[in-house]
Amino acid sequence: MNLYLLAPEISLCGLAIVVILLDLVLKRKGILAVVSVAGLIVPGAFTLALWGREETTFAGMLAIDQFSLFFNLFFLVMAALVILSSVDYVSKFRAFQGEYYALVLLSAAGMMLMASTRELISIYVALELVAISLYALTGFLKDPKSSEAGMKYLLLGAVASAVLLYGMAMVFGLTGTTHLEEIAQAIPGGGLLANPALLLGIVLLVAGFGFKIATVPFQMWVPDVYEGAPTPITAYLSVASKAAGFAVILRVFYEALGAVSLDWGIIFAILAAITMTLGNVVAIAQTNIKRMLAYSTIAQAGYLMMGLAAVSALGSSALLFFLGAYALTNLGAFIAIIAISNKIDSDLIGDYSGMARRAPLLALALAFCLISLIGIPPTAGFMAKIYIFNAAVQYDLTWLVIIAVVNTAISAYYYLRVVKVMYLEAPPSEEAVPSSASLRAALSFCCLGVLLLGVYPWALLRITQAAVDIFFP
Amino acid sequence: MAVGLEHFLILSAVLFSIGLYGALAKRNAVVILMCIEIMLNAVNIAMVAFSRYGHLLTGQVFAIFIMVVAAAEVVVGLALVIAIYRSRETVDVERIDLMKW
């Protein structure tokens, strides 16, 4: 048992406890955000120190490999950006500022564990560590909308966990083990139709994990929760929670259920087609920008699932690249919205009219991120879509790519509508919209990342290819 | 007639279905939380039955973990119910409808 392999997660949990304790004694609460962001360097350094190692510990429960280390870094960066974009928001709270940051850090620790465990019990515990922290964060404002969002998220999330557990029980009953690689050895041959218990188990697992990544038909919580939650948490939910869901799906389905990949590949292909179409079509009708982006994240989950449907090294490395590009882009869009709504106190698209005159840089950043969400060069979104469409074509899923291209065209309509409102319509007042230094720092990081991945994607591509190598020896 | 694994699995499936029906059909948030507990306990029965008849302790360990995590989940759930009741004076999920598409 080598505790050093768990050092990133342990130090992150320790940081969360330090933040809560500091909250008790400190008078100036602004320091809490500084401590949280600066403290993230410690788990980040441990992750980099472990880089390149391939080991398991705790009787094979925890795996340290390129895949889990990639996601460790991913979630640490996401947590740092979310904390930076929360500073203004949280400084308005009268109490519980430390708990807010601590919950963000604890859920990041849970997400890191989700990507690195190889055993069903610990996957479940990690998943609930993420989920329970996020329920609390969603209802954090305690106003009617936020509480309602938290309640809906918790009730639906708990049902999804129960469904997931029933699927795990079926898989455990059939194979007699909870370790992923032992499950892979114990899976009987003959495909899914010959094994109704395994079919039931897989369908329930897809349903349970599908809730986390918000695929149809488990997407109904997304718009309400995204609208009601504090906006930085909405951003966090839309990128980190979704990425954790994809990480755990890759782990479970490739390591444990690789023998029946033909069967679940087609399930994901069909779900991908329905998910992206529904997300894009419903997004057109939205007037609230948070709700519009909520449906847009559903559509993006559809594109991401193309990487699951194309069961190949190319497909899963494209999926990881898409996750990275999508995370920076979506987070950038949300940070711009946080900065604008801090000032104008409204989430309606109509109230963004003339924003290009009131806040030229914010409007430019938001427009740039929306263009990346469509997938127009020279942005990360363009490169990500090229790679994932290419992977799907190579896997003979041309029909899915055609649907995805049509969807991309549909999505351009509602993304560009926001750009049009900001640039072509007259502002209601000429008053400037200021933003704080931490928001500007987080936003510039996201926009530079999006641009960099758009013109020089190879560095990240190499990392994602190395990360998925463990599934395709 | 000896009681075998299939009897426990049928009991578990029936309980799970009752819980799922209740979670989707009931209107009171507290009752929905109770129905979710029924679903989780159905899973526990299946886990323990597999464990008993397959001679594998893992299932019982899993069941204990499920109980502990479910308790934590319910604590957050009831806290949210109280937060909603304070502002809305109701826990009827059909009347908690500030946001709808």
**Longest alpha-carbon distance in chain B:** 55
Question: What would the DSSP string read from start to end of A250-310?
Answer: HHHHHHTSGGGHHHHHHHHHHHHHHHHHHHHHHHHT--BHHHHHHHHHHHHHHHHHHHHHS
Query: Scanning the structure block, which residue is given the tokens 């094979």?
Result: A60
**How many Cβ pairs within 8 Å bridge chains A and B?**
127
B75, closest residue in chain A (CA to CA): A132
What mean pLDDT is predicted for residues A49-75?
92
CATH number of B5-88: 1.10.287.3510
Nearest to A135 among B33, B76, B98 (CB): B76
Q: Does B98 touch chain A (CB under 8 A)?
A: yes
Query: Is A86 a domain residue?
Result: no
pLDDT for the residue A188: 78
Task: Flag if A158 and B80 touch (Cβ within 8 Å).
Answer: no
Q: Which amino acid belongs to residue A182?
A: E
Contact present, A374 and A409 (Cβ < 8 Å)? no
- Asked whether the predicted pLDDT for residue B51 surpasses 90, the reply is yes
Domain hosting A372: range is 261-473
pTM (2 decimals)? 0.95
pLDDT for the residue A59: 87
Q: What is the ipTM of this complex?
A: 0.95
Query: Is A38 a domain residue?
Result: no
Query: Is A401 a domain residue?
Result: yes
Sequence ranges of the domains in chain B: 5-88
pLDDT band at A21; cut points 50, 70, 90:
very high
For B72-90, write each residue's pLDDT tens digit.
999 999 999 999 999 888 8
Query: What is the nearest CA distance from B86 to chain A, expressed in angstroms?
Result: 9
Nearest to B40 among A132, A162, A172 (CB): A162
- The helix or strand, by DSSP H or E, that contains position A64, with its residue range, turns out to be strand A62-64
Query: What is the nearest CA distance from A438 to chain B, expressed in angstroms?
Result: 31
For A273-327, write each residue's pLDDT tens digit.
999 999 999 999 999 999 999 999 999 999 999 999 999 999 999 999 999 999 9
Higher pLDDT pick, A332 / A144: A332
Higher pLDDT pick, A370 / A90: A370
Split into its structural domains, chain A has a count of 1
Query: Is A203 a domain residue?
Result: no
Query: Is A147 a domain residue?
Result: no
